[in-house]
Structure 1
Amino acid sequence: MTGNGGGPSFSPILQVLDTKQVPGPQGSVRYRIVLSDGKHYIQGMLATQLNHMIATNLIGANTIVQVEQFMSNRVKDRTVIILLNVHALRNEPSRIGDPQDIEKAQIATPGTNYATGSSVPPVKTGSPNPYGGPSRNPHHASPVRSSHAPIVRDTVNGTPITNISNLNMYANKWTIQARVTSKSDIRTWSNAKGEGSLFSVELLDQTQDVRATFFKEAVDKFYSFLQIGSVYTFSGGRLKVANAQYNTCQSNFEITFDQNSEIHLANDDGNIQRQHYEFIDSIAGLERTEPNTMVDLLAVVQAVGEVATIVSKKSGQELTKCDLTLIDTSATQITLTLWGDKAASALTDYNQQPVVAIRRARVSDYGGRSLSLSGSIETNPDIPQTAPLQTWWRTQTANGGVTGKSLSATRGGAGVMESLEQRQTIADIKNNNLGYAGDKPDWLTFKATVSFLKKDKEGGSWYPACANAGEPCKNRYKVTQTTDGNWYCDKCQGSFPTCVRRWIFSGVVEDDTSSTWVSFFNEQAETLLAGATADQVYAETYQDQQDQDAYDSYFAKANHTEWIFKCKVKNEMVNEESRVKTSVVAMQPVDFAKESRDLLSALAKF
């Protein structure tokens, strides 16, 4: 167990002498394990994600294992090896050799410093995530650090300071000194155990960054106190293993602080940088980047979209969002989505086309390539790369601007209108071959005039929908009338005395580049027809006797009106024939005053 000096490829083959279940933090199960190399044995702990190897008898007494990843820690004057990644090779009938306690061998063999762990090789860094999960970010992969580095790096007012990189589950009392690099909005939660509020911050010191979360009373105590950019000392937190799905920080752990934690403003001596960036080479490279990858990038905000609200399908809560169009020296554009308070203030914060440094944006393949902010965004950062990018952008705008390739040319989603700069034309549907992006639709926003509405459907331009307003129907699924006059729904298998009529018809819209057929469904049709519902028009024009003139009048008022349309474009098979179908998913009347202001603003940029 003395190792060979500790190269990065060190993967010792050892024998398990014994395993024992011990209680872990917060009622969890941990396993103590004794490892031998035939000459010495040492105490170890199995990482919780490897517990199944004990439960399924892959590891037991006398099993031969290969240790791929580990950490060494000093606990109560003993060296404890934490096994992070292990392969079981075979089972032996008995113990090999006559191994002795390595701690006693330290006393018998002067000159080998077991106490500091210097004889234990550093952790193999074959996986960026030492807990066996997927890498949080190949651009930001942080090797697991062994315990060679000193646990305490300095003192503040007599208090020892621990590096974030040296935090571990076996050190209960620690104090870190770190800069707050990002702070989330306050969020509320509710489940079977109760309800409350929380917020999270990201903390950075000279070694790593770590995510910390505050719950309930700690929210009231610390939210206003903690300011982005300031340096604090933190103690009294609890550690847990980082969840790689949601946590993008370098540390292998997360911290939870409560109202009893101690946080104090510290002197900012400049030794901790304001933010740690690992910028990608250019936006152009994102076209080949895998979805869900986290990236840092430096870019210019070319345009700010409209601030909009959407309802989350997962939580049902209303969310604020805003899309920024980013560009860099590769003359490539991409859309970045901001959320919450950052989105609400986007028009004020970014309308002067600043340079922005973005820490941890998640890559999406939704509509080409796009980004969603998961970390922080800094305006005109004080870093060497900012000035050259500002100079490039000023040169481009002075020479009439730059027309770049957009990775998010078909970016968008239902209900969110792009800004004037992000709009397209009807001709772009054909020119950009929209609708042929595999299983996913393309999206575009354009301004157009309604030139024709196909309203002459027998029985009216609607369909009978289920009267069940709850799940699973929500008044959407088509029903059929039975011989007894009731309406039967295949979806919920219910029978109802009435139905709900919903609009469905098509029409032609045109701009100065082309025209296209589009489909209007219920919500969009009601917007087009000044709020008239299908049930209302049916009652007035069809229920007692057909009044064709009254029916036609609703559509006549909508003809030749001008709108901004958000459309979904998808290639579909209709009667065994491939057709590109364009459906209106959102629409709003043209606000001519705002349109004029936006045009003047766009002209001023040139």
Structure 2
Amino acid sequence: MSQGTGMVGGRRVQPIQSLNPYMGATWTIRARVANKSNMRTYKSAKGDGNLFNVEFIDEEGTRIEATLWREVAQKYFENIEEGKVYYISKAGLKPANKAFSSVQNDYQLLISDRTEIEECNDASAEQLQKVKPKLNVTKIGDLPRHLGSRMLLDIIGVVASVSPLGSVKRKVDQSELARRDLTIFDTSGRQVTVTMWQTLASEEGDKLDKMQTEYPIIALQGVRANDYNGVSLSTVSRSTVIINPSTDESSDDFIPEAKELKEWLSQQGGKIEYPHCGAGLANNGRTSLGGAANNTRVTLQDLREKPVPAVGTKPEYVNTWAYVSNIQPDQTLYYMAAPDGSNKKVVAEGDRYYSEGTGKHYDSFIRRYVMRCEVMDHTGNLTFNVFNDQAEVILGCKADEIAESKESKDAAYDVTLKNALLVPYTFRVACKPEEYNNQTRLRFAAQSLKPLNFVEQSTYLIGQIDNLLPKAEAAH
């Protein structure tokens, strides 16, 4: 549990775990720089710049990340050193983008030129040097949700098998990289392959190889999920491996998840083979959860019940057949876009229109649809995002044409929406995870659609009926 605010070195220090964006910038934290990236250069429409990332850890083992940009990056890059302890005040917080963050924290530090970062040289700094990051354990069965995310995960599992030490050649310079694969499982009843690299592969891997008949428990801290063979794990330069972590509650190194796993293992009767957590996700040996072409027809219920992967995972594309059942008339429906075909949003500036996306001014604009509509089939309903080309098919007119009746509150607007209802289409749908109000959910967007072809639909339904009939009857 997080401790309350305390006085350290004459300062009132707040635990990282207790921070939230509603506290303002009145707090101070004391933290060690656990990791600092190199300075990187980026290019964008707003110009070129530099940035670097810093990972901080406090005395409770809670971590938080910060990205420093442009002038702020230049100001602090030489002054912030990995391994040193600092007081940080007058900083802000924002929700972490978990598609790009490597730290398991809901928030990210906002460091500006107002932020004060002062090195801590008192006795408390030495205490912080010994602090280890707090484990935030992910179950192996939940790993598919983290595909596509940069977030580093903590895993505790039983080692079922250890492969011999091998190596691969780095493409860049043809140097040899030591590697070793482990298979581990946990209380979720699922297993996964872990690839350890370099020193972890040769040293900890060698220890595990000699112990594998004992089925040791390992705690993996800071490993990354990837889509090799559906789902697998890989160590990175920051990863650590603890072999047979403490299950003694009186120990400072006690890990409750390790004790739970040890007790569960004792009840399994020696069973060490479990289904792979990526079963059903692999395609030709390598794929991601999303992005794969999927021509299977699914129902809206199938879409509602789909597992939600991590934000940043590539979209999955599926086909479904449904009726348009409702279009809310009071939605925005369209936006003003640049007339040059870039489709970038414009805003009025005097008697002209400016696009931040293109950095240009225009004398005019065109409207483009960005519509939400409800669709239904025999299993229920769902909301789809529908963009310009698909909305033109549904509504039968361009956005500029419907705008006049919508903005003048003409009855013709309601008639247009009503005439679009209860028309069946075959939709090609992109299923993409997004974060909203700190919750990850799937967003469904119609990538394409076409009016229902009744011959194709009849053929499909006949095939479905044949699949339900006993083979002997289906032959007649």
Task: State if a TM-score over 0.5 links the two structures.
Answer: no
TM-score range, shorter chain: 0.3 to 0.5
Structure showing greater radius of gyration is 1
Normalised to the residue count of structure 2, the TM-score between the two structures is 0.39
Using CA pairs below 8 Å that are at least 6 residues apart, which structure has the higher relative contact order? 2
Normalised to the residue count of structure 1, the TM-score between the two structures is 0.32
